[in-house]
Chain A
């Protein structure tokens, strides 16, 4: 197992190296540059030239890449052109928000998705089955910004039950030792702040969770349908095992492997930042910041954030692989 983990971590090196080259070349192909992006319609040609000169953008791309690489090896990704703060500071300030939002969205998708998918398969062809198929199609197709608008209109504006944007009520004066606002509230015993931060996760979490939810429902349903017709299930039934045991031990557990893969992939995706959801809910995570960085041609942020997120993505997938062994002992991790 340890060798397996070590090997996977070593594979990160060529991945990151290749990605850094791709990113570097690709970003510099984008039209315009930080000078124009910084100054907007006020920029004059001389100012743009001066900015490019100062940022070293007039050097050859090889020189620029070498400078970048030698800094990255010291875990220094430069500073954000938008905020003037180090990229790593920006990342670790925003990443906890994205993690909290992802966890909520994935938990929402799992808690609803697996039972729904399971029930749909058990009542194959019935009303619940058709309804779940239609609902999951809707979940995948409805645009996030529209859903966000509807959710906020219903639950924040009309009913006033839930906060409609942000990560926490700005009046709370909450303490943030870790940046994970819910956890912070618990650790510092500011329970009102923890609850408030949690409530702020609900609407964006649901908006973000609908796509994983729809996918999990469909995968669970398909996977359970496969397993239900397996010989060992029939054997278990015929030898008189209790239905609950058959469902838990023989059907669900065997059906979970593809579902776990899906959950892992979706978690990785969501962790790399939900651009639209974070923007429309004014939720300060990594996604909305990356979107701004593209507009501002903030090369340092784009390179730094994407490289760090690639590491996160690989690590999440590693965890998924490890979880296979726990779900199904037949899968031996080599």
Chain B
């Protein structure tokens, strides 16, 4: 047996050769160095059309670009591969995008209007496993169905290259999601030649789970300031190198290595040990310690909302599931809103820069307004409202997750403690229900089992509907989400439809402002806070601008000695 092993090793040795690249050392290009960034997870896939999670987006944002993007450090829409914001037809259905003329893909092919339309047509014509909501979630979320799914309405109609550098995109309906959603990495433009060469649409594996084609695993080909060098799965690292033919300002760094370090404490220690140059998802409790040790904590503007959902128990079977009917009474919901001490949560549980919320979107989103009913912390008033509703001593099943930290909710257990105490002070009895986050907690709240629950949302792009529409518009069956009791509020649903289909941006903003006021009177949940997540970098890392959408561009980053 030993002899066999020895022979095997010798045989392996004979055919194993180093494939290291020798440094070229031509000295022509200035060396920008290597940045190692600690990521919390591996990217899932390198084809933007199939991407949906933050860790994947972070890498893809350096390799790819879309027609539109966001201004560094803000959520404002600015041109990306388009040379200007699109011209919109009067009916709000046709968008004419003028394109940049000096752009080439990483494979050397030209970027032009035909490439743009090729990508849109590709997305529309996905078939088979690629239509799985887990594979193309953002296409389905924003645009709806596919060419061969006539039952699922689709808001995209067609794309036409009216000349080499003008793409005209026509929609079936007007929606506030478009064109704002084009800033999502999922709608980045890939090289048509590479898509065809590496069979990008060939997603297989219908039986168990999707298997992605070569393009999505090894050959991502975009126009961005970096391109893929190597994805070393065994070592949990993905390396991207500078694209010297980039159409804009070329990146300063030679390469960036994203290293997967799932544990937050380990990321912090690896930064302290100098093994990595920065990381994301900094625990709020570590801000001071890191700053004291000379690291730069870079908080992003809050682009999220934490809310306390209230179940009105309007869905069929709610009573059988033990949902408290008291919450159908607006006075009880108002009592809860007055009982929650948001300022105390903000100051004791959330990082610096967090703020109490008065509605369900951060102030940076168009449609936010001060003109809503504000429920100040007022335990007396809460108790009075409860008495009026004859609901003093009502027992509420209060659901919260145990094993998770979200940007809007760093420590759910601690936030639960504060709110639970607030509610008891106001005259409620609380029955705590703690569940593991995924899927138990999400499943229970989505099935309408909680009387009240903690949850939140980080915005995908600058659009009011992406916040309040996600929560409160009508879902399947024409009723609201079961999280909030599956209410049937026709007035609210009509207002959503009107605002979403309004072509004039200024008018639309006004409609969303009115909707926010309407929601705060209806009070399906209590908005609690907006909390800024942060990145941290070593003090020799410069030029990284934190983005509220976590869409940081690493091409401006440099390392000082």
Residues of A with C-beta under 8 A to B44: 82-84
Residue in B closest to A174 when the chains form the complex, CB atoms: B20
B182 within 8 A of A: no
- Please give the number of chain A residues whose Cβ is less than 8 angstroms from any Cβ of chain B in the complex: 77
Q: Are A280 and B263 in touch, CB under 8 angstroms?
A: yes
Stretch at the interface among A113-121, A176-184, A264-272, A306-314: A176-184
Q: A50-B133, A165-B261, A167-B235 are in contact. Are A44 and B269 (CB under 8 A)?
A: no
Residues of B with C-beta under 8 A to A79: 205, 208-211
Q: Are A35 and B12 in touch, CB under 8 angstroms?
A: no
Residue in B closest to A167 when the chains form the complex, CB atoms: B235
Residues of B with C-beta under 8 A to A168: 235
Q: Are B132 and A157 in touch, CB under 8 angstroms?
A: no
A-contacting residues, B227-241, CB 8 Å: 230, 232-237, 239
Residues of B with C-beta under 8 A to A25: none
A153 within 8 A of B: yes
Q: Are B20 and A39 in touch, CB under 8 angstroms?
A: no
Beyond the given A47-B140, A71-B207, A174-B20, please list 10 additional residue pairs across the A-B interface where CB-CB is below 8 A.
A33-B439, A47-B137, A51-B132, A51-B133, A55-B209, A78-B207, A81-B134, A85-B211, A149-B269, A173-B20
List 10 A-B pairs, minimum CB-CB distance, nearest first: A32-B439, A78-B208, A47-B133, A36-B439, A81-B209, A187-B16, A170-B237, A282-B261, A188-B18, A177-B16
Residues of A with C-beta under 8 A to B272: 157
Residue in A closest to B203 when the chains form the complex, CB atoms: A84
Residue in A closest to B272 when the chains form the complex, CB atoms: A157
Residues of B with C-beta under 8 A to A170: 36, 232, 235, 237, 239, 257, 259
A-contacting residues, B268-303, CB 8 Å: 269-270, 272-275
B-contacting residues, A64-100, CB 8 Å: 67, 71, 78-86, 93-94, 96-97
B443 within 8 A of A: yes
A321 within 8 A of B: no
B260 within 8 A of A: yes
Residue in B closest to A86 when the chains form the complex, CB atoms: B211
Which of B233, B239, B269, B274 lies in contact with A152, CB distance below 8 A?
Answer: B269
Residue in A closest to B21 when the chains form the complex, CB atoms: A173
Q: Are B275 and A36 in touch, CB under 8 angstroms?
A: no
Residues of B with C-beta under 8 A to A71: 207
The chain A residues found within 8 Å of chain B, CB to CB, are: 31-47, 50-51, 54-56, 67, 71, 78-86, 93-94, 96-97, 148-149, 152-153, 156-157, 160, 163-168, 170-171, 173-179, 181, 183-184, 187-190, 279-282, 284, 288, 295, 297-300
Residues of A with C-beta under 8 A to B133: 35, 39, 46-47, 50-51
B357 within 8 A of A: no
B428 within 8 A of A: no
Question: What distance in Å separates the Cβ of B550 from its nearest Cβ neighbour in chain A?
Answer: 15
Q: Are B263 and A31 in touch, CB under 8 angstroms?
A: no
Residues of B with C-beta under 8 A to A39: 52, 133-134, 137
B262 within 8 A of A: yes
Residues of A with C-beta under 8 A to B233: 93, 284
Residues of A with C-beta under 8 A to B237: 166, 170
Which of B17, B42, B275 lies in contact with A163, CB distance below 8 A?
Answer: B275
B384 within 8 A of A: no
A-contacting residues, B424-450, CB 8 Å: 438-440, 442-443, 446
Q: Are B259 and A38 in touch, CB under 8 angstroms?
A: no
B206 within 8 A of A: yes
Q: Are A166 and B259 in touch, CB under 8 angstroms?
A: yes
Question: What distance in Å separates the Cβ of A133 from its nearest Cβ neighbour in chain B?
Answer: 31
Residues of A with C-beta under 8 A to B261: 165-166, 282
B2 within 8 A of A: no
Residues of A with C-beta under 8 A to B216: 84
Q: Are B207 and A56 in touch, CB under 8 angstroms?
A: yes
